[in-house]
Every structure is written in structure tokens, then in C-alpha cells.
Amino acid sequence: MGLMSGRKGLVLGIANDRSIAWAITEWLHREGAEIGFTHLPDTGDRPKNQNKVAKLVEPLGAKFLMPCDVCNDSHIEAVMTRAGETFGRIDFLVHSVAFAPPDDLTGPTYACSRKGFGLAMEISAYSLLAVAGAAKKQQILSDSASLLTLTYFGGEEVIPGYNLMGICKAALECGVRYLASELGPDGVRVNAISAGPVRTISAMGVGDFKQMRDLYEGVAPLRRNITADEVGKAGLFLLSDLASGITGEVLHVDCGFSTMGAPPADFAKGSVAAV
């Protein structure tokens, strides 16, 4: 019997096999979970997004796969209705959704447009509140359900190149804490994983991504970057009963990078003087 045997839930935000949501999904499936999925809505006659995600999740026995635009409340409500019809109640929900217009993301934060800022915040931060609220309203969360979202250290400290998305992640992490407080009396847990740099579609939109990866290899205590699989295992932990006493937390899976206040002595030639 697997760690998630008999447990049912939703995964929102798989884009392809490099998505962190996919790495989490693989571990959930391996441990016996039953899962419903969403994909980005397709435009035109070609179901490109649907087909891409279907190729991944159908071999896992996906209970359903449907489009979801998190800017559209009717889409979110439809997903929760389908989850209720399929599962009755759900035990977990993975929220792996973020976006910012490239022109607003790659430039300095003071130059981002009002419209771009609003869209980035709506998709990257508000969508977690919208999804949790819809699940609560439709009463499909079990009394030990676990909600999980994905963030990054740029929401806590300045990471050059992360820019507007750092502001969005700060709001997302604050949302995790408020949701944990509000849903806690129902037995529902809400947490986030702050993953180190992983080569996903979203990450490739961030400026200086290669430089960011190189920095982690030199500064992190483990002197390497994480793998998507390591985030997947951490996600499984937080969604399972092994983390039954953990809520409102941001778990850093970054080889220790976030613990460092300055580069280590071997980061570059010479030594780093302590101040």
C-alpha cells in the first residue's frame, strides 16, 4: 500500500514533463493517489495544450482532464464541480500556476505596466485564493485535505532578474499563511514549496536564468542545484499524512541556498572576508 493510497485530488498547472507539478504528480501516482488534472485552455481548433498534458497523465489513469483559465471563475467552479462528481471530496490540491507578461517580467519592476502587474498578480497569487475559495464553497475538501503551491526565494529577498514575479510570490506566500489560518479549523493544511531554479517553461522567462543556476552551484551549501525529482518528493511529503502537523509554511528545497547570508569562501578566487 502506497503513502497516498485511497487519497484523491487535483493537480493544476502541468505544462509539460519539465513542470514541477509533473514531478509532484509522478510521486503522487507512484504512491497510489487518484488524480484529476487541468490544462491551459486551447485557442483555435487545435487542442495543443490538452494533447500535451494528456500524453503525460492518461498513462497514469487520470480521472479527468479539463481546461481551466484561472482568470475565469466559471472555469474554476467547473473544475471543482467535476472533482466533486468524480471524487466526492478531495484530499489534496496542487496549485502550480504563475505568469507575467514578458515585457513586464524582464524589465525593472518600476517599469512594469499597470495592466501587466494586475495580470501577473491575478494569475500568480490571487488564483490560489480563488481555487481554495471555490473548493471551500463547494464543500469538496476533506477534513484532512492539504493544499500546496509553488514559490521561489525571490519572494523573500531580491533576486536580480526575478523582478515582478518576486512581488507576486511574496503575495502568494502571504496568501498561504492567511489560508492556513482560515481553513485550519476545518482540518485543511496549506503550504508552499520554495524550489531552487529548475528549467521549466516559467523559469525560462526569467532574465539571467543561467546565471541564477550558476550562482546556486557556487553558493548553496550542497554546491549544486536541486532536481525536479527532489521537489516532487518534498511535495509528496507535504501532501501526505507525514506532514499532518505542518501548515502555513514555506519549505525551501534549494540545497540550502536560502540559508546563506554571504557567498562561501570558495565561491571565487581568494576568500570572502567576514564583515
Question: What residues are labeled active site?
Answer: 152, 162
Q: Characterize 72-87 residue by residue with b for buried, 16 or more Cβ atoms within 10 angstroms of its Cβ, and e for exposed.
A: eeebbebbbebbeeeb
Residues β-bridged to residue 223:
none
Q: Read off the C-alpha cell for 146.
A: 492539504
Please identify which residue in the block is written with the cell numbers 488534472: 37
Q: Whose CA is closest to 29, among 64, 57, 67, 66?
A: 57
Q: Read off the C-alpha cell for 74.
A: 466559471
Q: Read off the C-alpha cell for 208.
A: 539571467
Q: Whose CA is closest to 257, among 165, 159, 128?
A: 159
CB 263 within 8 A of CB 33: no
SS percent in the chain: helix, strand, coil, step 5: 45, 15, 35
Burial group, residue 236, by CB count within 10 angstroms (0-12, 13-18, 19+): buried
Q: Whose CA is closest to 173, among 83, 98, 111, 70?
A: 98
